[in-house]
Structure 1
Amino acid sequence: MKADKTSRTAQYMALFRALETRLQAKDRLFSDPYAIHFLDQKLRLATRLSKYAVVRKYLENTIQKKVPGAFSSGIARTKYIDDLLQNAILNGVKQVIILGAGFDTRALRLDFIKSVPVIEIDHPNTSNFKIQTYKNRLGKIPENIQFLQIDFNKQDLDQLAAQHQIDFSQPAAVIWEGVTNYLTSAAIKSTFSFISKFAKGSHVIFTYVHKDILENPKSFLGGEKLLKDLNKLEEQWTFGFIPAELPDYLNQFDIQLTEDSGANEYRKKYVPGRTENGYEFYRTALGIKQ
């Protein structure tokens, strides 16, 4: 990410959520009325015009051409993580920690966590922009949300936790969406070590990319172009897992892998009517602290 800007990829995810929200209630997976406010003027206009079928079709076709599968898998993943989070709350989780929160608006749009303490941790550029956007649109920050700022590749989460007295004794649902693929292996290990300090029964919901997309991008539809575009944005992907190796990796942190789904799987579950291909390398996993 460029030093003086927010994440462009975070804005694209907000665009996908904003476009989904423009659908009629019976047709959409979720509603996110806040997502549009994180978009630049051009993307806000496109979102508003998407109420016209011809414009929406053009937008979806353009996105599919540029990043095959990203839109359909992105909205399906959003709903999938919403459901995993709700299940965590139902199973006794007492707090929500969102690592690399980006423009995630779950603390506002999901009724079932409005009374749950939420800590959002992110890069200062994105975090400050988000705080200001909330203040502009809501007048104030909701009392259950706390924003903490960190550069995951340069700073220590343990120091941040000590400084702000994060409570590890209460089981947490940790959401780590759209982040691991930008980090170093050392940062990944350090973060899972941090997550493992939360109480037994804590849930970690995270995304990752299949390691093969980094080593052989041509093996995935649109993979080579995607990596080139990310390089131009200075948001290069640097890390991936081999799915078969993930259970053993998590075991060292006393975290048991309970779900691990690729884009095709959660797309089939939540948007079975969509026929787009692509983005199969993007995966969502759930681990539970033992």
Structure 2
Amino acid sequence: MTEPSFTALTAAAARAAHLVVDADPKIFTDDLAAPLLGGRAGELLAYHREHGDQPVLAGARTQVLVRSRYTEAQLGGLTQYVLLGAGLDTYAYRARGADVRVFEVDRPETQAWKRAQLARNGIPAPASVAYVPLDLESGDLVAALIGQGFDVSRPALVGWLGVTMYLTRPAIARTLAVLGGFAPGSQLVADYFLLPQLRDEAGASYAGLVAPVAAQRGEPWLSCFSPESLTDLLRDNGFGPVRHVRQHDHDVWPRTDALRPAGLSVLAHATVA
């Protein structure tokens, strides 16, 4: 069975490692991330256990934790949650009983791996989750969602995390054009990387260490933005108000462990007009 992308695996490992490496209070609690790593769990978590203070690993945890915390906090009042590039996200399995229909959009092979790990660990998929196998580059997102029960007349929260930096700007624009046609009041939370000249020292250092490795693994960073340029792109595609949330803006600082904010990854929070 084909593994998920290395990015999906390392994001899940970062969420899992936070619970055993970092101090209290926890930024985000995901006690199902480790089981979904399957046979890679020991290897991936060992890096964090043995080198938890290393800037790249601590930076990866920070990035993943604050974006997950912020995104899930926006669900209040919304009953449809679309995860684009869902990867090994576990919201649907942690939030049992919540009145939220979750649509996990991802490539079929990633979904097959995830469902196999869920079954292997005795984690049942609730009736509230719908799997939407789709390649965003070539598939019809709205048709695929409707086929799984998505109600286009009701607002939704769309989480698009850990994806935009691996897409070209035209591909990002095409997806935003679709999302901008969702019901008014729908919200999008998407993370993006700042342009090199806008990064602070910590962000530039992280990028200098991680970007070459990502490229070598076949996942090069293709798109970075200024807040202004991304705001323009969002507004051109049907979105109204846009808020840009930097790591420094989250209400989790200061901390006593190795987690520190950096000026690289920013969350864009936009509402369909």
| CA-atom RMSD in angstroms | 3.1
Q: Which runs of 5+ in 2 are unaligned?
A: none
Q: Kindly state the Cα deviation for residue 12 of structure 1 after the two structures are TM-superposed.
A: 1.1
Counting matched residue pairs gives 271
Cα distance per residue 1:156-214 (max 9 Å; x no partner) = 32442454453210110111111111112222112112112221111111111113389
Structure 1 contact 31–109 (Cα < 8 Å) conserved: no
Match of 1:29 among 27, 30, 34: 27
Name the structure 2 match of 1:140.
124
Structure 1 counterpart of 2:83, one-letter code: I
Name the structure 2 match of 1:172.
156
Name the structure 1 match of 2:272.
289
Name the structure 2 match of 1:245.
229
Report matched runs for 1:266-285 at 5 Å: 266=250, 269-273=251-255, 274=257, 279-285=262-268
Structure 2 counterpart of 1:153, one-letter code: E
Structure 2 contact 194–226 (Cα < 8 Å) conserved: yes
Relative to 1, partners in 2 of residues 1:218 and 1:160: Cα closer, same or farther, differing over 3 Å? same
Relative to 1, partners in 2 of residues 1:127 and 1:110: Cα closer, same or farther, differing over 3 Å? same
Q: Distance in 2 between matches of 1:18 and 1:282?
A: 20
Name the structure 2 match of 1:60.
52
Structure 2 contact 173–233 (Cα < 8 Å) conserved: no
Q: Distance in 2 between matches of 1:153 and 1:38?
A: 26
Name the structure 1 match of 2:89.
104
Report matched runs for 1:218-229 at 5 Å: 220-229=204-213
Structure 2 counterpart of 1:27, one-letter code: P
Name the structure 1 match of 2:244.
260
- Percent sequence identity over aligned pairs: 25
SS at match of 1:272: coil
Relative to 1, partners in 2 of residues 1:287 and 1:218: Cα closer, same or farther, differing over 3 Å? closer
Q: Distance in 1 between matches of 2:253 and 2:229?
A: 28
Structure 2 contact 203–263 (Cα < 8 Å) conserved: no
Structure 1 counterpart of 2:209, one-letter code: K
- Compute the TM-score of the two structures, normalised by the length of structure 2: 0.86
SS at match of 2:121: helix
SS at match of 2:136: coil
Structure 1 contact 220–278 (Cα < 8 Å) conserved: no
Confirm or deny that 1:19 pairs with 2:17: yes
Relative to 1, partners in 2 of residues 1:135 and 1:67: Cα closer, same or farther, differing over 3 Å? closer
Structure 1 counterpart of 2:173, one-letter code: K
SS at match of 1:236: coil
Name the structure 2 match of 1:77.
67
- Compute the TM-score of the two structures, normalised by the length of structure 1: 0.81
Structure 1 counterpart of 2:104, one-letter code: E
SS at match of 2:124: coil
